[in-house]
Amino acid sequence: MKISQRLSNCLTSRNSAMCVDYSASAERLLTGGRDGILRVWRPHRTTCEKTLRGHAKPITHIRVNRKERIFVSLSDDKNVRVWSENAWVCLQSLHVHHMGKCPVSSMCYNVYNNELVLANTGIAKCLGRGTEVFESAITSHDKPLCGVLYHDVFKQILSAGENGVVTVWDILTGKAVIEFKVTPNEHVMVTAMAFDYPQRRLITASYDRKLRVWNFNSGAELGVFPVTMQNEVTGIVCINNSVFVCERNSNIIYDLDINGHDNKYLEYDYLNDIFSMDGHSTTLVASSVNGNIAVWNVETSKVIFWLNTSVSPQVHMVEISLLVICLKTREVNVNTATLLTSANGYIYAWSVISEGGLLGKFREMESEGTFITTMSTDAKEQILLTGDNTGMIFLWDIQGFGYKTEDDKGPFEDINGSWQCHLSGVVSVLCDPPCKNVITGGLDCNLQLWTNTGISIGLFGKDEWDDKIRNSQTQPSESLESLSPNSQIQNFDDLSAKHEEAVSPPEGDAKSELDSKPETEEEPELDSKLETGEEPELDSKTEN
């Protein structure tokens, strides 16, 4: 905050300010004078707005508590006074004893715990009301969450805060395994993150438009993609060795080779601002805020199908937060929906065959102004989980939803009810493979674990549950060793011992690629391959 030079000169010339603090809630400067008077100022005026009297000696310290709209002042005679910002009156006055004759040289006000710590040359005194207030104020992150991922093999959750800090949590105990910074500074936030296709590395995009790759077990940066995106990255999807990246205010999807060899792009004229992506096998699906959805064959880089989801005139009046999910376990045919979308409070089921189209829908949101912010499915794609902008989540039975041969019996009933998870919008809602435990992350800075009936197991960063949920995890058919006994992820042996009951690894390329690595192989050469050569210009696009 800046104050005018005239006000600064006024304060110094009158010799009236020995200490100063700023109240953001009241938008006022508070000064303590040698005459024992507290003065309230507007930042850009030279006239004192209010004078608060009560101290008999010069005021040496002022501290503001924004949360409770109070402030504390301390004078030379060790008189502590608590003031209200609402009425500008003194609420409490007390004198500090047993600190000797030396003046108080330092004052610290812990606003989370409402504790005041005073110190002079030899003595510290703590005044406050205990630790319960502090406990109730604990959150999982210091800033709102912007992304959550779940690694089923390691039984770990990765959550990212807006300050660029990623924390890896043990879902079996609630403890933090490691925390590391993925952005250059605190003011550069994470805009998207995803696992690579084998789920061995973490890929993040930040507000500086750079993509970085991380060993999420050690927090080590493995490399930086040698490209700078034109706009803020809004989504990352990995299919085989390709990393598909979409941007805000763009109809282009960049197809980046994770080894840095061959970068391409996908473009479709009917998309104007890509909001969400998902992929499966050789298919990539992207949705735009204008309500259009395009489906690509990633091997040919050609659009094979597109949908216009604008089913009502209201769609054309507002931008749509259109989320998409591919149902990977279903057979692709005319009569089966393999794509779910959400918009305007509805869930839609689509067949991505040209003769298919819309096969079903049901209303998910009833309240005006409420909209879906995130959705996911369980491993068998029988349960749909959705979260909204009010902090609510819902679980839906979709086993019979989206088949042309069956009648639409809607409206749907949520299988385990719905419950309030967060004080504000839900950023992510995920579940373990059997969907017995639900993971939610919100804009209230919290990451929470629940049973599928809405019973809270605990808050990550605050509670620990000592492996309570182990019995609800899927019993393994293979040990973690089968994933990769020669994996180059650091401390893998410790993780293997720690999670001896982990589920079997995903089938396909992830397992075979890892198993083929010799034990003496170095970390992936991503960092050297990505960081060599000049940075290409993304706007000079490579033809497919």
The tokens of 257 are what? 């080779």
DSSP track, 201-245:
SEEEEETTS-EEEEETTTTEEEEE-S---SS-EEEEEEETTEEEE
**pLDDT value of position 500:** 40
What does pTM read for this prediction?
Answer: 0.66
Separation between Cα atoms, residue 104 and residue 118, nearest integer Å: 7
Name the fold adopted by 5-136. Methylamine Dehydrogenase; Chain H (2.130.10)
The tokens of 217 are what? 């077990």
Q: Is 168 exposed, middle or buried (0-12, 13-18, 19+ CB in 10 A)?
A: buried
Return the closest-CA partner of residue 190 out of 142, 243, 145.
145
Return the closest-CA partner of residue 24 out of 72, 85, 84.
85
| Domain positions in the chain | 5-136
210, 196 Cβ separation under 8 angstroms: no
Return the closest-CA partner of residue 350 out of 304, 297, 404.
404
Beta bridge partners of 392: 420
Torsion sign over Cα 187, 188, 194, 199: negative
**pLDDT value of position 204:** 97
pLDDT of the chain, 544 residues: tens digit per residue: 555 566 565 655 555 688 999 998 888 999 999 999 999 998 888 888 999 999 999 999 999 998 888 999 999 999 999 999 988 988 888 888 878 888 899 999 888 777 888 888 866 666 665 556 567 778 999 899 999 999 999 999 999 999 899 999 999 999 999 999 999 877 788 999 999 999 999 999 998 899 999 999 999 999 999 888 999 999 999 998 899 999 998 999 999 987 767 788 898 888 888 989 999 888 999 998 888 899 999 888 898 888 887 654 333 333 456 899 999 999 989 999 999 999 878 899 998 887 888 888 888 877 778 899 999 999 999 999 999 999 999 999 999 899 886 555 555 666 678 999 999 999 999 999 999 999 999 999 999 999 999 999 999 998 989 765 545 443 333 333 333 323 333 332 333 333 344 434 444 443 333 333 333 334 444 444 444 444 444 543 444 3
Q: What is the DSSP letter of 403?
A: B
**pLDDT value of position 496:** 35
DSSP track, 442-457:
ETTS-EEEEETTS-EE
Return the number of other C-beta atoms located less than 10 Å from residue 452's C-beta.
20
Which amino acid type is present at position 86? Answer: N
**pLDDT value of position 199:** 94
486, 512 Cβ separation under 8 angstroms: no
Which amino acid type is present at position 412? Answer: F
